[in-house]
Amino acid sequence: MTEAENPELSPAEPSAADLRLEAFSARALPRMFRTMLVVSVLLVAVAFWRYGWLGAAGFAAGAAVSCINFRALQRSVEGLTERIVNQQSREKGGRIVLRFLVRYALVGVAAYAIFIGSALAFRGFLWGLCVPVTAMMIEAGFEAYVAFR
């Protein structure tokens, strides 16, 4: 049975609310990045108060690596998607893979340098690496609120 024979099979037009929700969800990544920056600034003050300048410096380094890593991952996924979807893509496959490897090398080198320097700074660094998880949890709560509103 075709759509012409049975109008129930034709796809329904999205409602205005569906379009607003889709537009809201499309802005999730920039919102998460801003949330990561705000959470980092707030928590570096808490880390300084609780662990002193060494723990705060480690946290700031971990948060900075997390932010850089988040942006690099976003660009890599967009490049990989473009490469898969568009056959005439200018994006080179090797460059995409290299960006993935550089991200992990950056985290590894920073963690090693901080681990050698101070155990307290390394602990702060590990907490800083958790900033994206906090941003994702906040975004999930925000999207749930908007969806149920």
Phi-psi region of 52 (alpha: psi -120 to 50; beta: other; left: phi over 0): left
Residue 81: per-residue pLDDT: 77
Q: Kindly report whether the global pTM for this prediction surpasses the value 0.85.
A: no
Cβ atoms of 123 and 54 within 8 Å: the answer is no
Query: Two tokens at 21?
Result: 């929700």
Express each pLDDT in 2-61 by its tens digit. Answer: 555 555 555 667 776 666 666 666 788 889 999 999 999 999 999 999 989 999 999 999
Reported residue count of the chain is 149
Helix boundaries (H) for 9-92: 16-26, 28-85
Tokens 């307290």 sit at which residue?
Answer: 120
Domain boundaries, the chain: 28-148
